Chain A
């Protein structure tokens, strides 16, 4: 069994950002490049080209070979279907991983990735930046400290524009599906961190929004309803329903209903606005995620959001897809 590279706490971490396919790659690069405690190499094997510089290489091989002992850490921002091979290769090499969500496009792949990283003793975390939102923390606290009383219902909306310039988001082979895959998991992770796993999943989906740009078979609208042993019911609207001309990409809102009252959070509400203007000033969630991940790597111990929660949210997506196929709710194993 391989073990993770031993860390010299004073040495910079060698980080390879694997692929520029996901729009978050640029955001992570902007965070990592200025850090004195990180040496960064960026692989852009598909030639997306929106990241330029001496630290950009044209293949995964060059990124793996950028240091004599290879990287300490990879950040996986490839198309969803390629997460598995990159993460399994990292585990084989004893390299820690931060993997973009969804962790994988199938439950079997996600299970393999979690098991491989566990056996290799490397940190595997899933990139759910909204986990670090102060608004989400306020929701977790209000439920944990009893402010909301007995919580019986939740509605979560994670609506966005269809990502531009990245056709793979609606290529079922590369993305694993459409908006059910892309936008269910953020809220599913938040719910998981408060309530654990649901017992049943029901979903409906359609392809009316952005129909001209969506790939065959990729849903662009969807409603996912989860039930829990406690009786709690939660629905996630995962639709790409933000119009293309809106001043911001979309947002994430959650409303919790309890015997102690209601709480509504909007993780991306903080902004200065004006006609056609949206100037966000909220917490830098990508920065908080990377900080937590790099700390976890140095400590040798994953923290939330882990690979395991990534796997649990993939199970919810798979059940939602099965429900869309069968037209009936699906019990989670």
Chain B
């Protein structure tokens, strides 16, 4: 008689232990992962909160894990993703996987060539509201999609690199890429992009962008991003109109729990950088659980490296439109 030992825990190495790594933590805990981390700063604090083993170098971390979760600032994504894939690890990468579409494509190709997974963390695909809408669209509940609108509102994250467009890609590449991905997911490939951006002269942290997408299948999408003034609450909306119906959602109108003004003044509020997901199935956890489950089963997750590449391509076309004032074919 032989005894089966419990399956070995998935060994996950988190690289970069800033803000988003904390959002990833519950998902890895749910998966039962053995955690490792490496970061240029903050690794000890993260380890104290998570029980992760701290490594002194990326090489040391790569030698100790099965999966690498890239949570660094955007400019470092490509070199870490590349190193992890070359070391034969499956990779979760925060979005965007790279600012340059050519680099994003090269990383997706590398993953393909080494037979490893590259999972871009487009977490909005795991928000239950968007999930419900996507299922309804696929079931034909609104007929043929015609005009889609997506809005995302928050505050400029308080790390200085976000405000530097050469590092973060600005509001389009950092924030709006979520809604660009939603538009691609729901209405299919895009052939034309037009973008406009406005940055307040009196407070350059306050900025908005409008991106208009023309989908190959004929639908039109409007993505509107906003980094508002200090104190701006996180909010996201969509409005999906087709020839057979319409679906609308507004996170500000989701009053499962409503404090009155007296009570809400006494209530700690969110930071404006990330949405409050306490009343939802945690979408950050859901994406990592799906990553781990599809990795185990050898199946395709709902978001692939190719999806991450396409989102970067469309966002990059939007940035070119901002630079040139022209509508850009893509």
Are A262 and B146 neighbours in the complex by a CB distance under 8 Å?
no
Are B212 and A261 neighbours in the complex by a CB distance under 8 Å?
no
Are B232 and A261 neighbours in the complex by a CB distance under 8 Å?
yes
Q: For chain A, which range describes its interface: under 10, 10 to 19, 20 to 34, or 35 or more residues? A: 35 or more
Cβ of A45 within 8 Å of any chain B Cβ, yes or no, is no
Supposing A259-B200, A260-B229, A329-B326 touch, asked if A204 and B146 sit within 8 A by C-beta, the answer is no
Are A259 and B202 neighbours in the complex by a CB distance under 8 Å?
yes
Are A155 and B198 neighbours in the complex by a CB distance under 8 Å?
no
Are B222 and A152 neighbours in the complex by a CB distance under 8 Å?
no
Cβ of A282 within 8 Å of any chain B Cβ, yes or no, is no
For A134, what are the chain B residues with a Cβ–Cβ distance below 8 Å?
none
Are B246 and A243 neighbours in the complex by a CB distance under 8 Å?
yes
Alpha-carbon distance A231/B204, docked complex (angstroms): 13
Are B222 and A223 neighbours in the complex by a CB distance under 8 Å?
yes
Alpha-carbon distance A239/B241, docked complex (angstroms): 9
Are B241 and A159 neighbours in the complex by a CB distance under 8 Å?
yes
Are A235 and B224 neighbours in the complex by a CB distance under 8 Å?
yes
Are A257 and B228 neighbours in the complex by a CB distance under 8 Å?
yes
Cβ of A102 within 8 Å of any chain B Cβ, yes or no, is no
Alpha-carbon distance A193/B242, docked complex (angstroms): 32
Are B192 and A208 neighbours in the complex by a CB distance under 8 Å?
no
Are B149 and A237 neighbours in the complex by a CB distance under 8 Å?
yes
**Which residue of A has the minimal Cβ distance to B325?**
A329
**Which residue of B has the minimal Cβ distance to A328?**
B327
Are A153 and B198 neighbours in the complex by a CB distance under 8 Å?
yes
Rounded to whole Å, the gap between the CB of A124 and the closest CB of chain B is 33
Cβ of A232 within 8 Å of any chain B Cβ, yes or no, is yes
For A329, what are the chain B residues with a Cβ–Cβ distance below 8 Å?
194, 325-327
**Which residue of A has the minimal Cβ distance to B252?**
A264
Supposing A208-B146, A222-B220, A225-B194 touch, asked if A150 and B241 sit within 8 A by C-beta, the answer is no
Q: Which of B207, B208, B325 has the most CB of A within 10 A?
A: B208
Cβ of B40 within 8 Å of any chain A Cβ, yes or no, is no
Are B243 and A208 neighbours in the complex by a CB distance under 8 Å?
yes
Supposing A259-B206, A329-B325 touch, asked if A150 and B151 sit within 8 A by C-beta, the answer is no
Rounded to whole Å, the gap between the CB of B304 and the closest CB of chain A is 28
Give the residues from 279 to 330 in chain B that come closer than 8 angstroms, CB to CB, to chain A: 325-327
For B224, what are the chain A residues with a Cβ–Cβ distance below 8 Å?
153, 155, 235
Cβ of B21 within 8 Å of any chain A Cβ, yes or no, is no
Are A231 and B219 neighbours in the complex by a CB distance under 8 Å?
no
Alpha-carbon distance A159/B207, docked complex (angstroms): 26
Rounded to whole Å, the gap between the CB of A25 and the closest CB of chain B is 28
Give the residues from 143 to 158 in chain A that come closer than 8 angstroms, CB to CB, to chain B: 149-150, 152-153, 155, 157
Are B212 and A204 neighbours in the complex by a CB distance under 8 Å?
yes
Rounded to whole Å, the gap between the CB of B53 and the closest CB of chain A is 44
Cβ of A278 within 8 Å of any chain B Cβ, yes or no, is no
Majority-rule SS of B interface residues: strand
Cβ of B158 within 8 Å of any chain A Cβ, yes or no, is no
Picked from A149, A153, A200, A205, the residue with its CB within 8 Å of the CB of B202 is: A149
Q: Which of A153, A206, A232, A239 has the most CB of B within 10 A?
A: A153
Alpha-carbon distance A260/B202, docked complex (angstroms): 11
Cβ of A211 within 8 Å of any chain B Cβ, yes or no, is yes
For B75, what are the chain A residues with a Cβ–Cβ distance below 8 Å?
none
Q: Which of B147, B201, B224 has the most CB of A within 10 A?
A: B147
Rounded to whole Å, the gap between the CB of A323 and the closest CB of chain B is 9
Are A242 and B210 neighbours in the complex by a CB distance under 8 Å?
no
For B194, what are the chain A residues with a Cβ–Cβ distance below 8 Å?
202, 204, 225, 329
Picked from A155, A222, A261, the residue with its CB within 8 Å of the CB of B151 is: A155
Give the residues from 163 to 202 in chain B that come closer than 8 angstroms, CB to CB, to chain A: 192, 194, 196-202
Alpha-carbon distance A159/B146, docked complex (angstroms): 13
For B239, what are the chain A residues with a Cβ–Cβ distance below 8 Å?
157
For B17, what are the chain A residues with a Cβ–Cβ distance below 8 Å?
none
Are A209 and B243 neighbours in the complex by a CB distance under 8 Å?
yes
Cβ of B74 within 8 Å of any chain A Cβ, yes or no, is no
Picked from A223, A246, A328, the residue with its CB within 8 Å of the CB of B212 is: A223
Cβ of A303 within 8 Å of any chain B Cβ, yes or no, is no
Alpha-carbon distance A241/B219, docked complex (angstroms): 12
For B242, what are the chain A residues with a Cβ–Cβ distance below 8 Å?
208-209
Cβ of B153 within 8 Å of any chain A Cβ, yes or no, is yes
For B245, what are the chain A residues with a Cβ–Cβ distance below 8 Å?
243
Are A235 and B210 neighbours in the complex by a CB distance under 8 Å?
yes
Complex A-B: 9 CB contacts under 8 Å = A150-B206, A204-B220, A206-B147, A208-B218, A227-B196, A232-B198, A242-B246, A329-B194, A329-B325
Other than the known A159-B241, A239-B147, A239-B241, what 10 A-B pairs have Cβ atoms closer than 8 Å?
A: A149-B200, A204-B220, A220-B146, A223-B147, A225-B194, A233-B209, A233-B210, A257-B226, A262-B226, A329-B325
A-B residue pairs, 7 tightest by C-beta? A241-B241, A153-B208, A208-B146, A152-B198, A233-B196, A221-B147, A239-B147
On A, residues with C-beta under 8 Å from B are 149-150, 152-153, 155, 157, 159, 200, 202, 204-206, 208-211, 220-223, 225, 227, 231-233, 235, 237, 239, 241-243, 246, 257-262, 327-329
